[in-house]
Amino acid sequence: MSTTPETTTENTPPAPAPATNDVVEQMRIALDGPWRDLRERIRGELPWEAISGTPGESIEAQRERVTRQVLALADKGYGSIGFPTQYGGTLDYGASCVAFEMEAYGDLSLLIKNGVQFGLFGGAVSRLGTDKHLAAYVPDIMSGKLMGCFAMTEVGHGSNVAAVETTATYDAQTDEIVVHSPTVSATKTYIGNAAKDGRAAAVFAQLVVPSVGDVADGEEETPSKGVHVVVVPIRDEDGNPMPGVTIGDNGVKGGLPGVDNGTIAFDHVCVPRENLLDKFGGIDETGTYVSEIDNINRRFFTMLGTLVRGRVCVGGGAGAAAQKALAIAVRYGEQRRQFSAPGSPDELVVLDYLAHQRKLLPRLAKSFALRFTQNAMTARLQELEDAATSSEKETPGADHEDAQRELEAWVAGMKAQTTWHALDTIQACREACGGAGYMATNGLTQMRADIDVFATFEGDNTVLMQLVAKGLLTEYKDQWGDLDIAGTIAKVTAQTVEGLVENTLKRAGLQRLIDGATPRNDETALDSRGWQESMFSERASHLLETAAMRLRKAGKSDGFAVFNAAQDHILAAAKADIDLRIFEAFKEGLEAMPEGEARKLMAKVFDLYALASIEEDKGWFIEHGRITTSRSKAVTTRINELCAELRPHAVDLTKAFGIPESWLENDLIDLGQDRAGVTA
Amino acid sequence: MSTTPETTTENTPPAPAPATNDVVEQMRIALDGPWRDLRERIRGELPWEAISGTPGESIEAQRERVTRQVLALADKGYGSIGFPTQYGGTLDYGASCVAFEMEAYGDLSLLIKNGVQFGLFGGAVSRLGTDKHLAAYVPDIMSGKLMGCFAMTEVGHGSNVAAVETTATYDAQTDEIVVHSPTVSATKTYIGNAAKDGRAAAVFAQLVVPSVGDVADGEEETPSKGVHVVVVPIRDEDGNPMPGVTIGDNGVKGGLPGVDNGTIAFDHVCVPRENLLDKFGGIDETGTYVSEIDNINRRFFTMLGTLVRGRVCVGGGAGAAAQKALAIAVRYGEQRRQFSAPGSPDELVVLDYLAHQRKLLPRLAKSFALRFTQNAMTARLQELEDAATSSEKETPGADHEDAQRELEAWVAGMKAQTTWHALDTIQACREACGGAGYMATNGLTQMRADIDVFATFEGDNTVLMQLVAKGLLTEYKDQWGDLDIAGTIAKVTAQTVEGLVENTLKRAGLQRLIDGATPRNDETALDSRGWQESMFSERASHLLETAAMRLRKAGKSDGFAVFNAAQDHILAAAKADIDLRIFEAFKEGLEAMPEGEARKLMAKVFDLYALASIEEDKGWFIEHGRITTSRSKAVTTRINELCAELRPHAVDLTKAFGIPESWLENDLIDLGQDRAGVTA
């Protein structure tokens, strides 16, 4: 273990005492979560060169470099993680998410190119295909021999995947599927691996299977089977586009310069019937469409659901980038001096200023919270995977389907929250490093530019939060439907009482009266986990219940108008739900730690996360009588105290993420320490 | 006027009625402000090619292109705006800020290169130099024949300019000034024009003038005269560095690829005594330091104060970029369709969703507010300039100095608020345009990358807000000092009463009681300009007074600790002050408009700005008893209504910025409108 980078102390003033290292190690164990061994392996075996980028080089050069690195990583076995072992895959499904997180400390163009090849293209083939597809494609995908695209997004349809216009029409005469782009807006776009490397594409298209023979009345008559995925060769061995395939280059983007995003249009391209990935719906030898899922919507969502890993990865990758940005900015803040305190000849290090602590430490605490949640979510993904694999059933049962839908909502919300957090955090870190932060050599600006699109791809964040809300509202409706009369009355009564109390508070200021009478209680409550938890959970349930009530008023004719007028409310309910899940994950992570200094320190980080979240939304909490105005002010005071208490541990806290020093030092800003007037 | 682009209606569905155009024109006149003629001239005469960029090209190619464009603009006379007319300058000082704003609709690398050459380098020479310098340099600066640097920032000192380490030591023997970088951290860095084009640099250095002959006791004895600026040739005619000058290239940055930022270090470089820019302090023929300003600090701040235009420009440029981003995103939102409403075959345009309106319209309203403020601030800059120029005095009087300090604080705060607004807005616009927003051809991502550093250069935003606070606190202290005993008692009593009322409110919920009794009053008040204004002004004065009280408790020994513990409070006071100024500027702008439809529409934009600002800080307003919880909820409801009311005017509102269509159409996103299922 002496070679593991995290025990290296060089370049890290002040030198931490051994005891501190134990604390760091304990925290790191907690943050590493269930796939700690894999994280340790990657830390030990991946040299920086294998994953580092070259900001500023031409797009052509970066694309070449990234392709080289993808193949080199595949050679090391990184392409095989998470594929079924019977086809040469290694480790488990969740491990592929953890590997993705670790790779996100490196160049993000490389990360996304890896994600496209092994996660999206490889994932589509292995999750939507059947044995024949896995046997035919997976080994070559894992080795990088067959580079492929995930051709879902179209010019006209990003978020609304169900409405893609590309068609895949079965022709019984030739026993082939004809893939076609009927309109300009049906052109596939932003497709990674398309512009340069892709040989094949997993194409999302409306499957059309004309009925065979006579169809009885009442039977399914429509030839439209909804969105399915077909593997289509797009380039020949020499790299030329296949007949009928038109490939374009998206060219310069806001970031990810090493990813060859492009457009693909199809002009009646014929592929064998077997190229349809038919796990959830296929065409048999008689030319008849067969699926165990009759409902076209359920089939669509089941298919998309199997691809949930992509969003787990995107969120995890963004979270990792934010961690790295904080590691860079905190170290800079620990060394950079500017302005002296009155009476002192030396300038202060900037992290000693409250404003600087306020900029970095709450974001650091949130990064801890998100990492715990990411671990829990990945573990849950693996749990459901294990359950599905151990089951002999071809199609998942209703319980499993519910669990899967719930996971999808959680993942969707976390993807949105983590990518937004990353954008906000990397920007704050850039500004906290001043002009030095703007220099490409210091790693922050390319990271920021690359992460930008994480808020949009794999689902637009706002649309994803809408999806969370939809899940919550459906579940809520289901619960109400299931309640017996007595239960309904009890619930209605409880809500009415709550409404009454809230109105009474509003009118009579009862809460403020209580508050005036029990000021001590306010103060002692701030660090109480139970109180913090009640804030998160009451906000989530209140927002959901009131959103549901608003929507219940909608009639047939004004349905959209009612929904739209409540959209901000609905999105707030979704965010509150995700925030609660994050809180719970942090709590579980903390409680799993052994008693000791590390746990005490972690508890303070948790307090900072919880209180900063409450402060951010203090308007809501006061509006709804959840905190008094004096308690709200006390929250702010306590956050400032926590910043001061955590400030000496700031560098150690960033070390707890376990980013190898050798992956960081290239990005550590040269401070030109040789200066006049500094004696410390 | 038929050739002015803003009357062109092509590409803008739905076609606006003539009446609407009048409204747009009226709003544009209001937003154009005092330099409307110049704005119109630039709109008419500058072709897009003159100011457009080439994202994705190599840094070398972009630098070449930008240099070419700078010289072409200089040929058209754009370099001469704002320089003294006796040396060939044209128009007035404020006009140079307005021209900068207009150029900010184009490539921002070009903008900054222009700013470095004509604003910073040219500004330093013309504002800190005397006739001999202006005669010698200004004509060549305006033509671009003499390209120059503004060498202020050092590796070790960005914000703390007073502590730069570069020295400029007068040598009486040779009658020369020796410019030297004594440490690594004294190296000048991030200096525009340094890496490629600069022939000379205005170097900020500690001036050292050893005393001549005997010095009487009590006279100024120190040879250190504080920071002064010396013109130093850095390259010869062939472009090679001058002896003793070491030039480096900062290389790849987060943005502004066309600006050749670099480092400069001096090894005992000798220049004639005359190269010292000596308006505020110089060395006479006897080798004696002479200045009309004795106090070294006052001298430093007077010198820096003359350079305030740089910050006016940076804020204005960022504001213009935000306007352009909104113009792009609003048009996209007006055309892009995604998801259909229940019962409708067609997908909705995304701007019809409340969440999308919420993303764009409050930011649009704030852009209006900032534009009015920018106009008022630029006019004030010109006013003080006129006053200074018409005065025969060499050094400004005390009144003028107070006015100047006040302007500087305003400018500092606006620079910070506008650049942060721009970053936030461009990012929201990028996300609102989805994947299309991430394509470089659509203009948003390069803009975002370029604007990033605006938050740091010309003063780190947080440090600038600190400067605003310092000004407020000083002014507040001065006021208190001037009060007679009776006045002091009255003021203390008033504050005590306010404190008592606030505490009473806290305990007894009186405000909520009042609120319960007068619900109608709450609702009618929301659109009341007086009520809105009272919110802005009471917040500003309360935060300032309470911050001052906290600081008054500080003793000698714990001064920094008390300040630091209150830093978030102090910064909030500064922001509240700037927000109030923005409110006042919007109010004045609105009131100057003729009665009619345009004014009515503008009033709604103002309401949205004001209410969204209040909502953003609703926690504070409720905490401090300024709004009730029910009023706070009503604010949110009203914002949603205003979004719906303004939504049909969204494109028109962006047209009111007066960005020529020909400057926009290159960035307008190709929507691939040819799609299935859209009948509208």
In sequence order, what DSSP letters do the residues of A557-573 get, joined into one string?
A: TTHHHHHHHTHHHHHHH
What is the distance between the alpha carbons of residues B372 and B657, in angstroms, rounded to a whole number? Answer: 11
B400 min Cα distance to partner chain A (Å): 28
- A149-293: CATH number: 2.40.110.10
Structure confidence at residue A399 (pLDDT): 87
Q: What are phi and psi of A526, to 5 degrees?
A: -60, -40
CATH of B480-662, one of 3.20.20.70, 3.40.640.10, 1.20.140.10, 3.40.50.300: 1.20.140.10
Residue B610 φ/ψ, nearest 5 degrees? -65, -45
CATH topology for B309-464 is: Butyryl-CoA Dehydrogenase, subunit A; domain 3 (1.20.140)
> Residue A14, preceding bond cis, omega within 30 degrees?
yes
The residue type found at B566 is: A
Sequence-separated (6 or more) residues with CB below 8 Å from residue B11? B661, B665, B668
Nearest neighbour of B156 by CB, restricted to A506, A629, A672 = A672
| B77 Cβ contact list (under 8 Å, min separation 6) | B90
Is the pLDDT at B524 greater than 60? The verdict is no
Give the nearest chain B residue to A503 (CA atoms): B516
Q: How confident is the model at residue A114 (pLDDT cuts 50, 70, 90)?
A: very high
Q: Tell me the pairing of strands A224-233 and A200-208.
A: antiparallel
Checking phi first, is residue B239 left (phi over 0); if not, alpha (psi -120 to 50) or beta? left
How far CA B282 is from CA of B207, B285, B287, in Å, comes to 10, 10, 9
Cβ–Cβ of B456/A55 closer than 8 Å?
Answer: no
Strand B337-340 and strand B347-349: pairing? antiparallel
A498-507, A632-641, B404-413, B469-478: which has the minimum mean pLDDT?
A498-507
CB proximity under 8 Å: A 7-26 to B: none
Specify the pLDDT at position A493: 55
Note whether B423 and A437 are within 8 A (CB). no
pLDDT band at residue B341 using 50, 70 and 90 as cut-offs: confident
For chain A, the C-alpha Rg in angstroms (whole number) is 27
Which of B629, B630, B638 would best serve as a mutation to test chain A binding (most A beta carbons within 10 A)? B629
The two domains B5-148 and B150-297 share their CATH topology (first three levels equal) = no
Give residue limits of the domains in chain A.
149-293, 308-680
Question: How far apart (Å, rounded) are the C-alpha atoms in residues B511 and A506?
Answer: 9
Q: Give the per-residue pLDDT at B3.
A: 37
pLDDT tens digits, residue range A555-597?
777 888 999 999 999 999 999 999 999 999 999 999 999 999 9
> pLDDT tens, A439-449?
998 899 999 99
Contact B560 A58 (CB under 8 A): no
Sequence-distant (≥ 6) Cβ neighbours of residue B62 within 8 angstroms: B53, B54, B109, B257, B258
Residue B340 pLDDT? 84
Q: Which of the residue ranges A379-383, A387-391, B339-343, B661-665 has the most confident prediction, judged by mean pLDDT?
A: A379-383
Position A280: which residue type? F
Residue type at A86 in one-letter notation: Q
Alpha helices in B483-556 (DSSP H): 485-508, 510-517, 519-525, 529-552
Cα A295 to Cα A220, A299, B415, distances in angstroms:
10, 6, 57
pLDDT at residue A213, rounded to an integer: 65
Q: State phi, psi for B248 to the nearest 5 degrees.
A: -120, 170
Quickly list DSSP for B620-675. Answer: HHHHTTSS-HHHHHHHHHHHHHHHHHHGGGHHHHHHTT---HHHHGGGSPP-----
Buried b (16+ CB within 10 A) or exposed e, A284-321: eeebebebebeebeebbbbbbbbbbbbbbbbbbbbbbb
Query: Do β-strands B167-171 and B176-180 pair in parallel, antiparallel, or remain unpaired?
Result: antiparallel
- Count CB-CB contacts under 10 A for residue B193: 27
Q: CA-CA distance, A458 to A462, in Å (whole number)?
A: 12
Q: Do A156 and B423 touch (CB under 8 A)?
A: no
The tokens for B191 are 């200096």
Burial B406-435 (b: 16+ CB within 10 A, else e): ebbbbbbbbbbbbbbbbbebbbbbbbbbbb
Q: Are B72 and B13 in contact (CB under 8 A)?
A: no
What average pLDDT does this structure show over B632-659? Answer: 97
Provide the pairing of β-strand B188-191 with B245-249: unpaired
Higher-confidence residue of A485 and B237: namely: B237
Asked if B36 and B93 touch (Cβ cutoff 8 Å), the reply is no
Report how far apart the first and last C-alpha atoms of chain B are (Å, whole number).
Answer: 33
Compare A680 and A340 and report the one with higher pLDDT: A340
Provide the pLDDT confidence category of residue B498 given band limits of 50, 70 and 90. low
CA A581 to chain centre: 14
Cβ(B260)–Cβ(B192) below 8 Å: yes
pLDDT at position B479:
73
* Percent helix, percent strand, percent coil in chain A, to nearest 5: 60, 10, 30
CB contact under 8 A, B446 and A160: no
Q: What is the DSSP letter of A6?
A: G
Q: Find chain A residues with C-beta within 8 A of B452's C-beta.
A: 427, 430, 438, 445, 448
Reported as a pLDDT band with limits 50, 70 and 90, residue A412 is very high
Burial class (CB in 10 A: 0-12, 13-18, 19+), B631: buried
Rounded to an integer, the average pLDDT of A523-531 is 81
Query: From A670, which residue of chain B is nearest by alpha-carbon distance?
Result: B155
Cross-chain residue pair B515–A506, CB shorter than 8 Å: yes
C-alpha to C-alpha distance for A333 and A323, rounded to whole angstroms: 15
Q: What is the structure's pLDDT at B215? A: 56
Distance CA B60, CA B40 (A): 34
- Cβ contact, residue pair A640, B568, below 8 Å: yes
Taking the C-alpha atoms of residue A26 and residue B673, their distance in angstroms, rounded to an integer, is 56
CATH architecture assignment, domain B150-297: Beta Barrel (2.40)
At the topology level of CATH, where does A308-680 sit? Answer: Butyryl-CoA Dehydrogenase, subunit A; domain 3 (1.20.140)
Q: CB-based contact (8 Å) between A492 and chain B?
A: no
Place of tokens 């040469």: A88
How far is the C-alpha of B215 from the C-alpha of B233, rounded, in Å? 34
Rounded to whole angstroms, how far apart are CA atoms B137 and B140?
A: 6
Q: Say yes or no: A161 contacts chain B, CB-CB below 8 A.
A: no
What is the percent of chain B with per-residue pLDDT over 90, rounded to a whole number?
77
Q: Which CATH class is domain B5-148?
A: mainly alpha
Bridge partner list, A269 = A179
The answer to whether the CB of A414 falls within 8 A of the CB of A319 is no
Ranges of H-type helices in A233-353? 296-305, 309-335
How many residues does the structure list for chain A? 680
> What pLDDT, in 10s, does the model give residues A125-166?
999 999 999 999 999 999 999 999 999 999 998 889 999 999
Predicted confidence (pLDDT) per residue in A168-224, tens digit: 999 999 999 999 999 999 999 999 999 999 999 999 999 999 987 655 555 556 899
User: Do residues B23 and B17 make contact, with C-beta atoms less than 8 angstroms apart?
Assistant: no
Residue showing tokens 């400018």: B411
Q: What is the H or E stretch that residue A355 is in? A: helix A354-390
**Whole-complex ipTM:** 0.91
pLDDT in tens, B271-299: 999 999 999 999 999 999 999 999 999 99
Identify the bridge partners of residue B90 per DSSP, sorted by sequence position: B81
| Confidence category of residue A484, pLDDT binned at 50, 70, 90 | very low
| Residue with token string 């001590």 | A520
Cβ-based contacts of B181 with chain A (< 8 Å) = none
Cα(B229)–Cα(B200) distance, integer angstroms: 12
Listed by number, the residues of chain B in 409-468 with a beta carbon closer than 8 Å to a beta carbon of chain A are 423, 427, 430-431, 434-435, 437-441, 444-446, 448-449, 452-453, 455-457, 460-462, 466
This prediction has a pTM of 0.92
Contact between chains at A165 and B675 (C-beta distance less than 8 A): yes
Vertex B122 angle, CA B31 and B166, to 5°: 120
Taking the CA of residue A565 and the nearest CA in chain B, the distance in Å comes to: 7
Query: What six digits make up the tokens of A394?
Result: 């071809």
B255 contacts in A (CB within 8 Å)? 438, 445
| pLDDT tens track for B254-277 | 999 999 999 999 999 999 999 999
pLDDT of residue A481: 55
The pLDDT of residue B132 is above 80: yes
